Amino acid sequence: MKTQPTASHFIDGQYVEDTSGEEIPVIYPATGEVIATVYSATPAIVEQALAAAHAAEKEWAAMTGTERGRILRRAAQIMRERNHDLSVLETYDTGKPYQETSVVDATSGADSLEYFGGLAAAITGEHIQLGEDFVYTRREPLGLCVGIGAWNYPTQIACWKGAPALACGNTMVFKPSETTPLCALKVAEILHEAGAPAGVYNVIQGYGPVGASLITDSRVDKVSLTGSVPTGKKVYAAAAEGIRHVTMELGGKSPLVIFDDADIENAVSGAILGNFYSSGQVCSNGTRVFVQKGIKEAFLTRLAERLQGVKLGDPQDPEVNFGPMVSEKQLGIVEGYIAKGIAEGARLVCGGKRPDMAGFFLEPTVFADVTDDMTIAREEIFGPVMSVLDFDTEEEALARANDTEFGLSAGVFTRDLSRAHRMAAGFEAGTCYINTYNDAPVEAPFGGSKQSGVGRENSKAAIEHYSQIKGVYVRTGDLEAPF
Ligand SMILES: NC(=O)c1ccc[n+]([C@@H]2O[C@H](COP(=O)([O-])OP(=O)(O)OC[C@H]3O[C@@H](n4cnc5c(N)ncnc54)[C@H](O)[C@@H]3O)[C@@H](O)[C@H]2O)c1
Ligand SMILES: CCCCC=O
């Protein structure tokens, strides 16, 4: 497959190149080879993208929701037809196994285009009767939205931000992560092919400073970031300078609580899905696995058995179910955490090493006897490292689960439904799971509380974050005044 894109940026309905920007090598994580080169946006490219998105605002907002929705749904259809090629590209961009990308990434992107395309015509205001007078509300777009993406789900993130933004009548300039610059260009190309007018959805490449330069431009009305908490703090602060709307999808250190009465096979499945999918590079992962003491050893034994089913290798091979880390840098960060886990006294149950193969592979790693104060239990690792902690009571588990500055997700496995709902109500997290983990359908809200974020993506809730209400008071009779 050709991995070199036509050009680095997609602006105003066409590919645009400017090789005077800083070179960004695109590295295939499974081999370490450079598979493409793109160039970071220069100030002139940033200006071109913002000007195009600004100029497109009025025409796009003036279209009916039905017209906008039809374009988004057509784009969804094209994405589904090209699922194979888009999945192969996602695997080159991220290193995630084709076994995953072929059912998750373009699929989830298409779901979001289809869902918000379907909602577009239903985005309306309301009528509020006040005696003979009345108020009506108009739900209006915010204007120009900037999207900034992380590297773990490049197609999905480009769509989860673009689809609701465009459905509400906004335009977008999207900057993917410099680590995975390829997939968002395809999203832009497909939206344009589906009929989105030039300038409605633009993609430019670049490192952090390019993202930073977008946020403070006076034409920008909203910034939606998917990234780490430290980046979120900077982006939030920069957006505040112009009182811009924000959505912050940030990191986590989520708890997964497994009670003695849980179905052990399902609980092990949840722990695997919540720690090792995408080689552990998922924001919502349940990396603090609290296991009640009565089933701790049985859980660890069955987990070790199930991990025999891990198949590392060429991620493009549909039989392979475990890919490399996205980059050498991320591999080094995760190895650093593994070393800390060992140094601080956690028991290494399995993994912890690089296998003898090219690329940035790391074995799935499980630590047991982890305590709340250890670094691996407190900081987001963003790699295939599961920490197993044990507990006695429900109250204790809930208190310890919530003892973190993060609040992205939380899960519970139990057969006791009352307890399951008590736990879900008590978790300080934006997304909770009962007897499952990491499902993220577009119909459900997704996002974090505490330092894990602001706002929600997906579901009807996202409409609130990409539109604003205007109230219009209408008087039908004469108007009295004091003088
Ligand atoms: N909550 C979610 O939905 C979600 C989803 C995926 C990933 N994440 C989080 O993303 C992180 C991993 O991704 P990452 O390493 O790419 O994150 P990151 O914070 O390093 O970078 C995210 C994006 O921000 C850009 N950026 C960096 N500094 C910037 C600045 N000062 N101004 C504007 N933009 C800037 C980067 O170029 C990149 O595009 C993890 O913490 C993970 O939990 C969250
Ligand atoms: C389960 C959805 C994951 C998105 C963030 O990494």
For residue 393, give every residue at least 6 positions away whose Cβ sits within 8 Å of its Cβ, in sequence order, or none: none
| Atom nearest to 446 CA in ligand 1 | 3
* Ligand at shortest distance from the CA of 408: 1
ipTM computed for the complex: 0.97
Q: Using CA atoms, how far apart are residues 160 and 154, in angstroms rounded to an integer?
A: 10
**In 3-state terms, what secondary structure has residue 204?**
coil
Q: Using CA atoms, how far apart are residues 3 and 25, in angstroms rounded to an integer?
A: 12
Look at the domain 255-434 and name its fold: Aldehyde Dehydrogenase; Chain A, domain 2 (3.40.309)
Q: How far is the CA of 225 from the centre of ligand 2 (A)?
A: 13
Mutate to test the pocket of ligand 1, among 24, 203, 233, 283 (most ligand atoms within 8 A of CB): 283
Dihedral angle sign, alpha carbons of residues 229, 231, 234, 238: negative
DSSP class of residue 322 equals B
CA of 126: how far to CAs of 63, 105, 137, 277, in Å?
Answer: 19, 36, 5, 43
Mutate to test the pocket of ligand 2, among 155, 282, 409, 438 (most ligand atoms within 8 A of CB): 282
* Helix ranges (DSSP H) in 95-153: 98-119
Tell me which architecture the domain covering 9-251+464-470 has in CATH: 3-Layer(aba) Sandwich (3.40)
Question: What residues pair up with 288 in beta bridges, in sequence order?
Answer: 255, 387
Q: Using CA atoms, how far apart are residues 392 and 425, in angstroms rounded to an integer?
A: 20
Q: Using CA atoms, how far apart are residues 29 and 360, in angstroms rounded to an integer?
A: 6
Which residue puts its alpha carbon closest to atom 3 of ligand 2? Answer: 282
Clarify whether 480 is annotated catalytic.
Answer: no
Q: What is the pLDDT of residues 127-151, one digit of tens each?
A: 999 999 999 999 999 999 999 999 9
Q: Using CA atoms, how far apart are residues 70 and 67, in angstroms rounded to an integer?
A: 5
Token pair 């066409």 is found at: 14
Q: What is the pLDDT of residues 399-458, one digit of tens each?
A: 999 999 999 999 999 999 999 999 999 999 999 999 999 999 999 999 999 999 999 999
Q: What is the pLDDT of residues 235-275, one digit of tens each?
A: 999 999 999 999 999 999 999 999 999 999 999 999 999 99
Mean pLDDT per block of 10 residues along the chain (483 residues) reads 96 98 98 98 98 98 98 99 98 98 98 98 98 98 98 98 99 99 98 98 98 98 98 98 98 98 98 98 98 97 97 98 98 98 98 97 98 98 98 98 98 98 98 98 98 98 98 97 97
Q: Using CA atoms, how far apart are residues 101 and 178, in angstroms rounded to an integer?
A: 20
Domain ranges of the chain: 9-251+464-470, 255-434
Which residue puts its alpha carbon closest to atom 2 of ligand 1? Answer: 249
